[in-house]
Chain A
Amino acid sequence: MGADAVIALEVAAKLLGCLLVFLTVPLLVGQMEHKAMAHMQSRLGPMYAGGFHGWAQLVADGVKFAQKESIVPARADRRVFELAPAVALLPYLFVLITIPVGPGQTARDLSVGVFFALAIVSVGVIGVLMAGWSSANKYSLLGGMRAGAQLMAYELPLVLAAASAAMAAGTLSLDGIVHAWRWWWLPYQGIAAAVFFIAALAELRRPPFDMPVADSEIVFGPFTEYTGLRFALFLLAEYAGIVVFSALTAVLFLGGWKGPFFEPQLGWLWLLLKTMALSFVVIWLRVTYPRLRADQLQKLAWIGLVPLALAQIALTGIVRVTT
């Protein structure tokens, strides 16, 4: 076997690994949401499917979605409507490729990894806008507009917070940032970490930032008209988004694959633990806080997060220049 063939095989194996993670970890987070939310609300959650504590509930849900009829509304813009779930979902898959699971262990380490991740993730909102507009439904359009407005407000603090981490590490490579990470980054980059995580929640349209999908006022917004597998793809996009943003937060601010022991061998485990812990916080916040109003949303972004992120960048800059 030639060297080229070996490289091709390696690339294929890595991409397959990414796909496997993409298809399983979001389901784990979904199951965690079922159970954690239920227990926080003093109920049990699904208990029957599969026997032990309803572990197979998500599989059953998947089968249910696959069986349902896929309906395109008569007045909808058919092609855009059908394409929207793919546009919303695929960016998260591409971002997974750059996340380092160990020293030098990424499917593809880019020297501009931070930029790549943020750029690709921002494509997802176009899928939501496409869904909102093409459904030819007032609620959907309202939801789409809200999603767009929310993204515009929270993209800035997100990028600024990530820029602070890149400045502190002196590199744009995600693996390089993990290499440069030390425990004292926790207080040093703490503000940036909080800003990044909150802005990520808003980008994901998760409660308390779920005004674009607000099920109780605009009936799930952009996704109102979706049924069957396409709706399931949007749900998968939400959970994949939680995983990707949790992993990015862990990589940028919590040391990624670094852990107390067995560092090079068990790097993937540390990263997975941190990602799952952050995903749990995402679910926890959903159960804890009520939905923010439009004006509160914008205020939080422009008066709260942007100045905080700028202050953090100034701090990082001063530390970098003086040391």
Chain B
Amino acid sequence: MTLADVVFGLLGVVCLAAAILVVTSRHVIHAALWLVVCFGALAGCYLVLTAELVAWVQVLIYIGAVVVLMLFGAMLTRAPVGAVQQLDSGNRPVAAVAGLATAGVLGTLVVAAFRGAYVDIHHTAIGDGKVIGTSLFRFFVLPFEVASVLLLAALVGAIVLTKREA
């Protein structure tokens, strides 16, 4: 067990604890702030796994997302200072099923793909812009383009939804 393993494990614990606090907190804004901690710890995990670029992209994109979340969380719930009792919605069972199913699929996928994989930080190429760019545009062009079409569809959908009927 190396120092990197220990750091990775600790970051994982922080990430998990923060994630649990996100869903159990009764303060909307506190939940959003715990999400920042969770994402930060996750970025740290990426760093330990030598995925440098992915780690900073994680910070750049998801911190921005949390800002939006805080804005809308505050606007939609009026987010008073102090605990809110009616934060639970009636969709709890459905959400639990969806969450468990997603976790199952992703967990199985990760185990199947990376079982026994081990990153030795001294003998692995650092995942900087060059390495990511090369593999992205050499081996994963099609998934990359599909993802961009998906995002474009979501963008168009959002515009259509917000457009008022004339």
Main secondary structure of the interface of A (DSSP, over half): helix
Contacts of B120-165 to chain A: CB distance below 8 A: 126, 128-130
Chain B residues with CB under 8 A of A155: 64
Q: Is A305 an interface residue (CB 8 A)?
A: no
Question: Which residue of chain A has the shortest Cβ distance to B73 in the bound complex?
Answer: A133
Q: Could you say which residues of chain A place their CB within 8 Å of the CB of B53? A: 112, 115, 172
The reply to whether A133 and B71 contact each other, CB–CB distance below 8 Å, is no
0/1 interface trace, chain A 120-152, chain B, CB 8 Å (1 if under): 101101100110011010000100010011011
Decide: A111 near B128, CB < 8 A? Known: A123-B63, A136-B81. yes
| Pick from B30, B70, B81: contact of A76, CB under 8 Å | B81
A280 adjacent to chain B (CB < 8 Å): no
| Contacting residue for B70 out of A122, A123, A133, A159, CB 8 A | A133
Closest 5 CB pairs of A and B: A119-B60, A111-B128, A119-B59, A115-B56, A119-B56
Say how far A180's CB is from chain B's closest CB, in angstroms.
Answer: 14
CB distance from A122 to the nearest CB of B (A): 6
For residue A75, CB closer than 8 A to chain B, the reply is yes
Closest B residue to A111 by CB, please name it: B128
Per-residue CB contact flags for chain B residues 35-74 toward chain A (1 = under 8 Å, else 0) read 0100000000000000011001101100110111011001
**A106 → chain B, closest Cβ, in Å?**
15
Q: Is the CB of A145 within 8 A of B63?
A: no
B65 to chain A, nearest CB (A): 10
Does B67 contact A125, Cβ atoms closer than 8 Å? yes
Name the residue on B nearest A112 (C-beta). Answer: B53
CB contact under 8 A between A112 and B81, given known A119-B63, A129-B70: no
A159 to B74, CA, bound (A): 26
Known: A77-B81, A133-B70, A141-B74. A122 touches B63 (CB 8 A): yes
Q: Are A112 and B67 closer than 8 Å at their CB atoms? A: no
Report which of B36, B68, B79 forms a contact with A133, defined as CB distance below 8 A.
Answer: B79
Q: Which residue of B lies closest to A73 (CB)?
A: B81
Is A122 within 8 A of B126, CB to CB? no
A227 vs B33: C-alpha distance when bound (angstroms)? 23
Residue of A nearest to B133 (CB): A172
Which B residues are closer than 8 A to A by beta carbons?
A: 27, 29-30, 33, 36, 52-53, 56-57, 59-60, 63-64, 66-68, 70-71, 74-75, 79, 81-82, 126, 128-130
| Complex interface residues of chain A between 42 and 56 (CB less than 8 A to chain B) | none
- C-alpha spacing A30/B11, complex, angstroms: 38
Contact with B along A44-81 (1 / 0, CB 8 A): 00000000000000000000000000000001110010
Which of B27, B63, B81, B130 has the most A CB atoms < 10 Å from its CB?
A: B81
Partner of B36 from the list A76, A126, A151, A152 (CB cut-off 8 Å) is A126
Measured CB to CB, the nearest residue on chain B to A77 is: B81
Rounded to whole angstroms, the CA-CA distance of A282 and B18 in the bound complex is 39
- Bound complex: CA A155 to CA B59 (Å): 13
Chain A residues near B66 (CB, 8 Å)? 126
How distant is A125 from chain B, measured CB to nearest CB, in Å? Answer: 6
Residue contact A172 to B70, C-beta cutoff 8 Å: no
For this complex, into which size category does the number of interface residues on chain A fall? 20 to 34
Q: Which residues of A, 148-164, contact B by the 8 Å Cβ criterion?
A: 148-149, 151-152, 155, 159
Minimum distance in angstroms from B47 CB to a CB of chain A = 11
Verify if A273 is at the interface (C-beta below 8 Å from B): no
Contact between chains at B81 and A115 (CB < 8 Å): no
Distance, CA A115 to CA B30, complexed state (A) = 27
Known contacts being A119-B59, A133-B74, is A152 close to B129, with CB within 8 Å?
no
Which residues of chain A are near B81, meaning CB under 8 Å? Answer: 75-77, 133-134, 136
Choose among B29, B60, B67, B129 the residue that contacts A111 (Cβ–Cβ < 8 A): B129
Q: CA A148 – CA B70 in complex, angstroms? A: 9
Residue-wise, chain A 202-239 has the 8 Å CB interface mask toward B (1 for contact) of 00000000000000000000000000000000000000
**Complex-state Cα separation, A136 to B81, whole angstroms:** 7
Quick check: is A118 within 8 A (CB to CB) of the other chain? yes
Q: Does A110 contact B (CB under 8 A)?
A: yes
Contact call A112/B74, Cβ cutoff below 8 A? no
| In the complex with contacts A148-B70, A152-B68, A115-B36 CB distance below 8 A | no
